[in-house]
A and B are shown apart, each in its own frame.
Chain A
Amino acid sequence: MRKVKSALTALLLAVISFVSVIPFWFMFSMSTYKSELIFQGTPIFPSDYFGENLKTIFASNFVQSYGNSLFISIVSMLISVIICAMVGYAMNVYQFRFKKGLHLFIMMTMMVPSQIGIIGYMIEMRNMGLNTTLWPMIFTWFANGFGAYWMISFIQSSLPLELVESARIDGASEVKIFRSIVIPCIRPGLLTLCLLIFLWSWNNYMIPLVFVNNANNYTIPIFIKSLASAYRTDSGAQLAGLTLATIPLLALFIVGSKSFIKGLTAGAVKG
């Protein structure tokens, strides 16, 4: 009975894995075809046109766009995660006036669609003289309601306050406590948030759309879209671009998958 059960589970997992992997495989396989041939049949097996498609995208400013996206996503991820972790720490460890109100405010920021504030954000960036740089695409992640809420919840469930108190008694400074005690305790949550911020920043379209007015500032989503207008019919090149664009996400996920899952399921068995 147990064998049948585990065989069925394995089969179910195999089917789910197959369904999940198939779109990626088709994306890669299609990127190896000449555009006119992609939809002539079902491109299950790769063809021999990948090099040509790569040539097409590298002939545009793909490298610059890739670099921009990497820069934006990494800086956004690092700073946003640090800020969110600090917010989580402060909201759990310190007692101060209006704490409940602040908590409510953080929750409220998650309810408001980011598009609503985009005009105000554009005005702010223009007044700061940053509207023609990459920084508007980065700053938008610094005050991240979801990240703050995530870290508040995560720290609440995974950081024993006694540890912090013991460290204080031993004379550790707040920075030292945060760095040496809090960070190791919340690592799975931090890594999960890292992956999420990186993913959202990498795929962000709206903010770059309104701020990018120069080919040197293109990010990957804008580049792929511009490829759609510049080479409207070159689906092969677009898919090759998309294939390359998913590599950092896949690499990050593979490297951090254990922590990612741990972070997502943290607290799930508590109750």
Chain B
Amino acid sequence: MKKKLVGMLLTAAMVVGLVAGCGSSGGGESSEADSAEDSGTEASEDAGEGVTLTYWGWDSNYYEPMFEAYMASHPDVKIEATAVEWGDMLTKVQQALASGSELPTMFGMDFALIENWKDMDVCEDLTAYGFDKSEYVEILVEKASTEDGKVIGCVENVCPAGIAYKRDLAKEYFGTDDPDELSAMFNSYDAYAEKGAEVYDKSEGKVHLFHSGQAVAEWLYFASDVENQTGDTLNYTDKMTDILSTLIKLRDANAVDSYQNGTAEANATYAGSEHIFFPCPDWAITYYVEANDPDGSGNWGIIKAPVSYSHGGTCLGITKQSTDEQKQAAFDFIKWATQEEEGVNVAKDKAGYITAYTKYTYDPDFIKRADEDFFGGQNISELFYKEIVEEMDIAPASPWDNSITSVRNDLAQQLMDDKSMTLEKALEIGQEQLEQLVTDDSITIK
């Protein structure tokens, strides 16, 4: 009986597997990406001949609506997207390169790791297609440029960052939820430490200013003006001291909780009532704040950080492997997405992204975000795209940023888990880790 049952189950599973595994694709599924693909197929068929572009990326909140809108207005182009998890992107591309496997026509590159992408030398120079560097926010386009002036990718959005806060908690603990008053109150890292200690005591240890030591370290990393690399030297000690000394000050004042950044538990704190501030680049408004606290409309505000900074972002690059027709079509898409009225509006309305194309970035009418009600009607558009964009700076990237970031994350969590760990001890541990990760003998870690 049992034998029969096993046989039946395996046979049934095999049949289902064969049907699903070998059957024609798209049999009734209706993901946004698939529907985008489907609509592209139809469009392609309607138009007769067309060009198919492929894309790898993780930022589906951006690429899905963008591809859908582009294919609707450009029926001769079909874009097929493959979602690749952010942390796997470099591995996947490196392995495809090493084995000579196919790369997509376009991919999303983490702007913070742009030097690694430059090193791989897989991207077309966008200037060869008419990309005018002077038309984009200078510090961003420079970061995506190589020493010989080639531009390997176009940033999807300008990425100013501030500090988001919960209005009800701010009112309860600081007596005001007004962004100007709070900005004045929190104008230095010392002020965060001082107020953090007060809040912690007042709430009897329940409320912290920030939810995650890693998130705070990430903020301080992007806000730091210490360059990661000068010549053949990695300025590890200077950079980490700049970040970790402030983190330790905040930790010792009980201003920071110990959630691991980006985990489901950490994301759930956005909707909770035990953390007041969250470091917040503009892309995190849709990605983190609104997504994690959908019922929190009106209860959020944003203030400037003590040092205005830019955080993260994604660059769109075109691979050298693609055909000339694909490359041109991909560039046309990038131009549409970042320069043309239809594209920049879809990016703004659907993903909350403001293009780095200065014609729009500095246009006070264009930058008006549709989600200001979520922030209690605060004019966050002007705050982000006028005040912070004008003040923010970006420290140059290095090819070792991936390793430095990994060490930073690890140290931040260790400091939060072991409250007695000193800066010296953390620096020592980090130095050892970094020496393991940096495989180039010509690089000195200082």
- Give the residues from 214 to 243 in chain A that come closer than 8 angstroms, CB to CB, to chain B: 214-216, 225-226, 228-230, 232-233, 235
Q: Mark B26-37, 1 if CB is under 8 A from A, else 0.
A: 111111111001
The answer to whether A209 and B92 touch across the interface, beta carbons within 8 angstroms, is yes
* Most B C-beta atoms less than 10 A away, residue of A36, A120, A122: A36
A60 contacts which of B19, B31, B91, B101 (Cβ < 8 Å)?
B31
* Chain B minimum-CB-distance residue to A236: B264
Q: CA–CA, A9 to B292, complex, Å? A: 46
Q: Mark B329-370, 1 if CB is under 8 A from A, else 0.
A: 000000000000000000000000000000000000000000
Q: Which of B8-16, B119-127, B401-409 contacts A (4 or more CB under 8 A)?
A: B8-16
Chain A interface bracket (under 10, 10 to 19, 20 to 34, 35 or more): 35 or more
The answer to whether A225 and B88 touch across the interface, beta carbons within 8 angstroms, is yes
B128 interface residue, CB < 8 Å from A? Answer: no
The answer to whether B102 and A118 touch across the interface, beta carbons within 8 angstroms, is no
The answer to whether A225 and B268 touch across the interface, beta carbons within 8 angstroms, is no
Enumerate chain A residues within 8 angstroms of B84, measured Cβ to Cβ.
226, 229
A233 contacts which of B26, B29, B96, B288 (Cβ < 8 Å)?
B288
**How far is the CB of A231 from the nearest CB of chain B, in Å?**
8
Enumerate chain A residues within 8 angstroms of B291, measured Cβ to Cβ.
232-233
A169 interface residue, CB < 8 Å from B? Answer: no
Q: CA–CA, A216 to B86, complex, Å? A: 20
Q: How many A-B residue pairs have CB under 8 A?
A: 148
For the residues of B in contact with A, the DSSP-based class is helix
Contacts A66-B20, A68-B20 known; A119 to B37 CB distance under 8 Å?
no
Enumerate chain B residues within 8 angstroms of A216, measured Cβ to Cβ.
25-26
B10 contacts which of A74, A134, A226 (Cβ < 8 Å)?
A74
B255 interface residue, CB < 8 Å from A? Answer: no
A123 interface residue, CB < 8 Å from B? Answer: yes
B100 interface residue, CB < 8 Å from A? Answer: yes
- Give the residues from 70 to 122 in chain A that come closer than 8 angstroms, CB to CB, to chain B: 70-75, 118-120, 122
Enumerate chain B residues within 8 angstroms of A209, measured Cβ to Cβ.
88, 91-92
Q: Mark A25-41, 1 if CB is under 8 A from B, else 0.
A: 00000000001101110
The answer to whether A256 and B86 touch across the interface, beta carbons within 8 angstroms, is no
A10 interface residue, CB < 8 Å from B? Answer: no
* Chain B minimum-CB-distance residue to A34: B294
The answer to whether B293 and A126 touch across the interface, beta carbons within 8 angstroms, is no
A-B contact list, 12 entries, CB within 8 Å: A35-B267, A64-B20, A66-B20, A71-B21, A119-B99, A122-B101, A215-B37, A216-B26, A230-B61, A230-B83, A233-B267, A235-B268
